[in-house]
Amino acid sequence: MKMALRACLRTKPGLTALLSQLSCSGHAAARRAPALVAQRSSSSTSQKIKVDFDQSSGVAVMHMQSPPVNSLSLEFLTDVCIALEKLEMDKSCRGLVVTSSQPKVFSAGLDILDMYGKSPEHCAEFWKAVQEMWLKFYGSNMITIAAVNGSSPAGGCLLSMTCDYRIMADNPRYSIGLNETKLGIVAPFWFKDTMVNTVGHRATEMALQLGLLYSPAEALKIGLVDQLVHEDQVLTTATETMTKWLAIPGILNISYTCHFFHLWCCNLVCTICSCVCQVIAAKKIHLSQDF
């Protein structure tokens, strides 16, 4: 699925342009973008994101370093998107590993504090940033691997599912899944679609209805993650795996079917509708709070 999205983006430049208009590149513009310089290895850092790029292998490692739990705030999402955009523009970068610098947590998902009691404008901006992250990772031209070195609930799980491959630390104290239902909120349909594309319909139904968080072993069993390794080995395994993937001829140029393109278009249209509805809803909530 991820491959299909990537192909659509490559073969339909108009669509890419449309996407970038719909997404929140505007708010991300001209901020402290991590620069990639033409040298063998480079390291660039925003406050919350550190990117190490090894030019000889064409592989970048994005370290999420937003304490305490890499929760996805508007600011953090913006930094992630800018870093990804930079890497995407550098054609020598062919693979991206995403991991966490925070102990025990990959990402705690959306920043709850950034969703509560904020203006409708902030909510709209925030929600667009969430969607942009999803679109950018899912539609990436690079091979993407999530090195899930800690717990990864809700939006953190979504982030990992937008990658081509997931390697998780084999520590039963960690968990991963779309647990929104347990929080009394409904996972947006494109969260659901992403999970369906990862683990299939039935497992997704169960996961979303019950708001399940899975242990690493359970996640491996249903295919939510692809591999478990000792937590000291997550990043090295991810880079080794990346090397193997990138050695496959034409890995970045696989051809795709119209079916996937249609599905992606449907997702896009529905996303726009959902976005509009959410903004309206947020405005209504805001108004009702005024009375």
Ligand X SMILES: CCCCC/C=C\C/C=C\CC/C=C/CC(=O)SCCNC(=O)CCNC(=O)[C@H](O)C(C)(C)COP(=O)(O)OP(=O)(O)OC[C@H]1O[C@@H](n2cnc3c(N)ncnc32)[C@H](O)[C@@H]1OP(=O)(O)O
126 part of the interface to ligand X, by CB under 6 A: yes
Q: Catalytic positions, please?
A: 110, 155, 179-180
**CB closer to ligand X, 204 vs 241:** 204
**Tokens encoding 22:** 């719909």
Q: Out of 183, 206, 217, 265, name the contact with ligand X by CB under 6 A.
A: 183
In the bound complex, what is the minimum distance in angstroms from residue 228's beta carbon to ligand X? 18
180 part of the interface to ligand X, by CB under 6 A: yes
282 part of the interface to ligand X, by CB under 6 A: yes
Distance separating alpha carbons of residues 80 and 65, to the nearest angstrom: 11
Of 75-83, 110-118, 194-202, 248-256, the window that binds ligand X (rule: CB under 6 A) is: 110-118
Of 8-16, 103-111, 138-146, 222-230, the window that binds ligand X (rule: CB under 6 A) is: 103-111
**CB closer to ligand X, 102 vs 241:** 102
Q: How many residues bind ligand X (CB under 6 A)?
A: 28
- What lies within 8 Å, CB to CB, of 241 at 6+ separation is 145, 165, 167, 227
**Tokens encoding 24:** 């929140």
Per-residue CA distances from 12 to 17, 194, 207, 257, 269 (Å): 9, 21, 34, 14, 16
Q: Which alpha helices (H) appear in the chain, and where do they start and end? A: 2-11, 13-22, 25-28, 74-89, 120-138, 155-161, 189-199, 201-210, 216-222, 234-246, 258-290
Q: 166 in helix, strand or coil?
A: strand
Q: Which residues bind ligand X (CB under 6 A)?
A: 68-69, 71, 104-105, 108-113, 115, 123, 126-127, 151, 153-155, 179-180, 183, 185-188, 278, 282
